[in-house]
Amino acid sequence: MRSLWLMLVVALVAMSVPSPARAQGTTALRASGAPLASQTSVGVQKSAAVPAPLPTPPRADTRQNRAMMIVGGAALLTGAVVGGDAGTLISVGGAVVFLFGLYQYLH
């Protein structure tokens, strides 16, 4: 009785394992790597037209924007070190300068 259960379990496991033939469906792959006659072409063929890449506009000078971001970041740190109401004002001003410089830099 025990061997019957073992055979039944082995059969169920064997049936549940996917086979490559079932995974491929009804189409069978060719065993050789040779090209098919329907895939060959003879002579010169016109290739598809490749569109020209769009020219990128020249980028404006970003030195002033980078400087604004650096000064704004420095003001943020300075305001954090100073503390109190004055530090809060310096930090808020630095954040505004930093964000405006970042906005200008990204556009």
Two tokens at 35?
A: 């090209």
Query: Which pLDDT does position 76 carry in this prediction?
Result: 94
Mean pLDDT over the full length of the chain = 79
Percent of the chain at pLDDT > 90 equals 38
77 close to 45: Cβ distance less than 8 angstroms: no
Structure tokens, 1:
């009785």
- pLDDT tens across 47-84, in order? 677 788 888 877 778 899 999 999 999 999 999 999 99
Residue ranges per structural domain of the chain: 63-106
